[in-house]
Amino acid sequence: MDTLPLVLTVGLLALAGFFAGKHKARLASTQVRSHSRPHYHGYLVALWTLIPALLVVMVWSFASESVITRLVVAELPARIQQMPASEKSLFTNEFKNLANEIDVKKHIPTEAIKSSDSTAVAYQAAQRYIQLTRLSQQLKAAVTLSLAALLIWFTLHRVQPQLKARNSVETIIKGLMIVSASIAILTTVGIVFSVLFEALAFFRHVPPGEFLFGTHWSPQTAIRADQVGGSGSFGAIPLLTGTLLISAIALVVAVPLGLFSAIYLAEYASPGIRTVAKPVMEVLAGIPTVVYGFFAALTVAPFIRETAESFGISASSESALAAGLVMGIMIIPFVSSLSDDVISAVPAILRDGSYALGATKSETIRKVVIPAALPGIVGGVLLAASRAIGETMIVVMAAGLAAKLTLNPLDSVTTITTQIVTLLTGDQAFDSPKTLAAFALGLGLFVVTLTLNILSLHVVRKYREQYE
Amino acid sequence: MTTEALPNTDPSAESAALQQARENNRAALDVTVDKTVGQPFVENPKISTRHVHVFYGDKPAIKDISLDIGRNQVLAMIGPSGCGKSTFLRCLNRMNDTIPTCRVEGDFRLDGEDIYAPGQDPVLLRSRVGMVFQKPNPFPKSIYDNVAYGVRLHGLAKNRAELDEIVEKSLRRAGLFDEVKDDLHKPGTGLSGGQQQRLCIARTIAIDPEVILMDEPTSALDPIATALIEELMIELSENYTIAIVTHSMQQAARVSNRTAYFHMGKLVEVNDTDRIFTTPQHPLTENYITGRFG
């Protein structure tokens, strides 16, 4: 039995268990008042069937392939057993491929088996492999279904009016939620550690001091020993300044525009305008960044260059300014939406208090509403900043790839994220410094955005304390 | 479910007390108020209002009220919830202007000057007619900055020393200075409810208004804090004209010179406080102050 029909069968068994449990509980509770209502008994039977059976299916499916491979390899002739590890794994792959082929074609070339060369051995191994796999499938189905049946019988047996089925279901559901949360957390931890270890591998090639404080970035290294190529220099400072320059330009655009539109929407706009304008502004955040990218590259960047040249200033056709401006437009919703929410959340009674002291509307906004909402606004700005720092596509298209150490917004610069993309695309050995540098950059980026996120969380929490 | 299953649907099964209560409430709704009884007008009033109508959208909230508030007097406004007393109070410093659906009609005069005249600036009016709200609403700033807020806004202090003096004087008059003198730069939101309300009163008197409106200023406070605020009101009435909305008839009796009884958007009866509470003329007033409804 294949895995999918097996899982469906287990599901059906659990469903049957649910109705059986419910029915039995209902019958049992006609005389005595039951602790839990019948459907909780049903859920308990179903969950007790479903979860262990599915766990068995999962573990078996993950483990079976390596167990079977090991079994087959153990039966191979001695001359193959004595081969070096790399050749042995090559042979293992060969018979596995053959097994797949045979499985698909449903045809076993018998004449090949009769010959006595290594192909014949491989065919024999493949056959053995297929045989064992089928056996494992059958065993898996048998074990799972009998386990499920046993569990249904056992849990149905336990259905009694005094059984605290409701509490047990509660506990099981709590457990499922803990498992879900753990998966999310463990994935994050796993990603962080994999990035960390690869970055440490990079620092074996390049000293951390050179990476952190070096001012020259040129990651081209020779792929082969006899190739003429750059020796590679990995100073991250130009990337960091590029990132910060573009993010700063983006924030200079986004913070005033976002904040003022938030104030307008929250304080001045009529409800009609607000219901239209707010979603429209939030659409800005939904436009794919690649669309912003070609807008920046094809419209904004040439416009900036022409304008600069008309003033007699030389400008690169790919400039930090173009990328920053467009990115600023993109992150407006992050500032405006969050600020709008916190400004609207400032209690009306504070505004009334200010009006009652003879303040005008703009005085009230400047002196009471904005200070009261400031922590939330700062949170929004920090969120927008981490979005800007992580942005890749607009920079690739509009700001170029040249790692220049410059603060001139009309020059072309590059950012950490853009360099990660270029480092990991193209042919390169995985353990070369060039590839590993991407992980070191990723780690750096992670540290920066994590710091910003922690900062904004902290600020937002402080704001909440003030009003609750 | 059948009607038999409902308990006490039979009127004869009702208790005598419940029947009496029903009757009183019905009577309260049936009595029509054509004309305000008592004495709505006084000699040389601080504020005078004539034929006031207020609407929220199309719904009338106040119907044809005419009332004077005497100079350096405390006027208490009492009445059941939704009777329009808070709405009327908010007309007096044009706070209703901030509610888009609210429409105010009638003649309002402060020292004989029409406060709804086209050239009138509501912002300036509010610096002359201060207001204290039901829920204490200190700004999330320091105690000092809370009191200094209006003073700075209107440029009432020439320098820091003068500002310090105004802040201290206002806090003293609100009876709060001794409690907070060491914490002037701590946030006003950290004070207790009663202290916060006295801070709001200090903030209001710091800009030296002529009239102070109070909208149920003690309804969120405990009895001790309430007693302090009531003392303060009596003290303040020496220099200020005060209008207070309250749900507590004892409070009205304790602090006010005159009391006005509102009912369903109308002004039923106005008179000197002792007369209202001893010999009410209108049956509605009598029912309300004797606690038969409301």
| Structural domains in chain B plus CATH codes | 36-137+211-289 (3.40.50.300)
Q: What is the greatest pairwise CA distance in chain B? A: 79
* pLDDT for B100: 85
Among chain A residues, CA nearest to B99: A352
A100 and A241 both lie in a single domain: no
Chain segment A379-390, per-residue pLDDT in tens: 889 888 988 988
Of the residues A103, A129, A163, the one at which a domain ends? A163
- What's the CA gap between A212 and A233, in Å, rounded? 12
% of residues, chain A, pLDDT over 90: 30
SS3 sequence of chain A: CCHHHHHHHHHHHHHHHHHHHHHHHHHHCCCCCCCCCHHHHHHHHHHHHHHHHHHHHHHHHHHHHHHHHHHHHHHCCHHHHCCCHHHHHHHHHHHHHHHHHHHHHCCCCHHHHHCCCHHHHHHHHHHHHHHHHHHHHHHHHHHHHHHHHHHHHHHHHHCCCCCCHHHHHHHHHHHHHHHHHHHHHHHHHHHHHHHHHHHHHHHHHCCHHHHHHCCCEECCCCCCCCCCCCCCEECCHHHHHHHHHHHHHHHHHHHHHHHHHHHHHHHHCCHHHHHHHHHHHHHHHHCCHHHHHHHHHHHHHHHHHHHHHHCCCCCCCCCHHHHHHHHHHHHHHHHHHHHHHHHHHCCHHHHHHHHHCCCCHHHHHHHHHHHHHHHHHHHHHHHHHHHHHHCCHHHHHHCCCCCCCCCCCCCCCCCHHHHHHHHHCCCCCCCCHHHHHHHHHHHHHHHHHHHHHHHHHHHHHHHHHHHC
- Asked if A350 reaches chain B (Cβ–Cβ under 8 Å), the answer is yes
**A38 lies in some domain:** yes
* Residue whose structure tokens are 């051995």: A121
pLDDT digits (tens, 9 = 90+) for A253-293: 999 999 999 999 999 988 899 889 888 888 888 888 889 98
Of A349, A358, A363, the CB nearest to B137: A349
Percent of chain A with pLDDT over 70: 92
Contact A367 B98 (CB under 8 A): no
Q: pLDDT by residue (tens digit) across B178-203?
A: 999 899 988 888 899 889 999 999 99
Q: Which of A343, A357, A367, A368 to mutate to test the interface with B (most CBs of B within 10 A)?
A: A357
Residue A226 inside a domain? The answer is no
Q: Report the Cα–Cα distance between both ends of chain B, in Å, rounded.
A: 34
Percent of chain B's residues with pLDDT above 90: 50
pLDDT reading at A161 higher than 90: no
Res. A411: pLDDT tops 90: no
Same domain, A261 and A379: yes
Work out whether strand B211-215 and strand B241-245 pair parallel, antiparallel, or are unpaired.
Answer: parallel
Q: CA–CA separation, A11 vs A23, rounded Å?
A: 18
Same domain, A16 and A109: yes
A306: in domain? yes
The conformation of residue B281, written as its DSSP 8-state character, comes to: -
Q: Within an 8 Å CB–CB cutoff, is residue B102 touching chain A?
A: no
Same domain membership, residue A239 and residue A159 = no
Domain that holds residue A340: 233-467
Last residue of a domain, one of A163, A194, A224: A163
Tell which of B145, B153, B196, B205 to mutate to test the A interface (max A CBs under 10 Å): B153
Q: How far is B291 from chain A (nearest CA, A)?
A: 31
Percent share of chain B, pLDDT over 70: 91
Is B275 an 8 Å CB contact of chain A? Answer: no
Asked whether residue A148 falls in the same domain as residue A46, the answer is yes
Model pLDDT, residue B144:
94
Q: Is A104 on the interface with B (CB under 8 A)?
A: no
Contacts of A359 in chain B (CB under 8 A): 123, 149-150, 153
Q: Which of A113, A130, A163 is the last residue of a domain?
A: A163
- Whether A427 has a pLDDT exceeding 90, the answer reads no
Nearest-by-Cβ selection for A349 from B124, B135, B204: B135
pLDDT, tens digit (0-9, with 9 covering 90-100), for A103-122: 776 666 655 555 556 677 77
Q: Cβ(B214)–Cβ(B132) under 8 Å?
A: yes
pLDDT at residue number B3: 44
Say which of A351, A353, A357 has its CB closest to residue B153: A357
What is the count of residue pairs from A and B with beta carbons less than 8 Å apart? 66
- A177 is a domain residue: no
Q: Is A216 on the interface with B (CB under 8 A)?
A: no
Check CB contact of B154 with chain A, cutoff 8 Å.
Answer: yes
**In-domain check, residue A431:** yes
User: Is residue A214 assigned to a domain?
Assistant: no
* Residue from B181, B145, B139, B171 nearest B160 by CA: B145
Q: What mean pLDDT is predicted for residues A20-44?
A: 86
- Beta-bridged to residue A218, according to DSSP, are A233
pLDDT at res. B230: 92
Average pLDDT, chain A: 85
- Asked if residues B209 and B151 have their Cβ atoms less than 8 Å apart, the reply is no
Query: By the CB < 8 Å criterion, does B110 face chain A?
Result: no
Q: Is the pLDDT of residue A56 over 80?
A: yes
In-domain check, residue A303: yes
Average the pLDDT over each of A182-191, A306-315, B57-66 and give the range with the smallest value. Answer: A306-315
pLDDT band at B26 (very low <50, low <70, confident <90, very high): low
ipTM of the complex: 0.85
Residues A243 and A137 in one domain: no
Question: What H or E segment, with its residue span, contains residue B46?
Answer: strand B45-56
What residues in A contact B204, CB-CB < 8 Å? 356-357
Is residue A107 located within the same domain as residue A241? no
Residue A376: list chain B partners with CB under 8 A.
none
Mean pLDDT of A187-196: 92
Chain B residues near residue A368 by CB distance under 8 angstroms: 139
Backbone angles phi, psi at B245, to 5 degrees: -95, 130
Nearest to A356 among B124, B126, B138 (CB): B126
Whether A229 has its CB under 8 Å from any CB of chain B: the answer is no
- Answer whether A273 touches B (CB < 8 Å): no
Mean pLDDT of A296-305: 88
Is the pLDDT score of B2 beyond 50? Answer: no
Contact state of B130 with A372 under an 8 Å Cβ cutoff? no
CATH code for the domain of A454: 1.10.3720.10
Give me the residue label for tokens 């009261």: A372
pLDDT band at A324 (very low <50, low <70, confident <90, very high): very high
Q: Are residues A114 and A247 in the same domain?
A: no
A24 has pLDDT over 50: yes
* Integer Cα distance of B217 and B226 in angstroms: 9
Q: Is A460 in the same domain as A373?
A: yes
Question: Residues B36-55: pLDDT tens digits?
Answer: 888 888 888 999 999 999 99
- Per the rule left: phi > 0, alpha: psi between -120 and 50, beta: everything else, A57 is alpha
Number of structural domains in chain A = 2
Taking the CA of residue B17 as centre, how many other CA atoms within 13 Å lie in the half-sphere pointing to its CB? 0
Q: How confident is the model at residue B273 (pLDDT cuts 50, 70, 90)?
A: very high
Q: Are residues A155 and A268 in the same domain?
A: no
For residue A356, tell me if it sits in a domain. yes
Tell me which range, A35-49, A74-88, A392-406, is most confidently predicted by mean pLDDT.
A35-49
Distances from the Cα of B181 to the Cα of A142, A191, B91, B169, B175, angstroms: 82, 55, 35, 11, 11
Query: Residue A357 is nearest to which of B98, B149, B189, comparing CB atoms?
Result: B149
Higher-pLDDT residue of B32, B84: B84
Instruction: Tell me what pLDDT residue B5 has.
Output: 46
CB B46 within 8 A of CB B241: yes
CB contact A451 to B (< 8 Å): no
pLDDT band at residue A419 under the 50/70/90 scheme: confident
CA A442, distance to chain mean position in Å, is 14
* CB of A129 closer than 8 Å to CB of A95: yes
pLDDT at B27 over 70: no
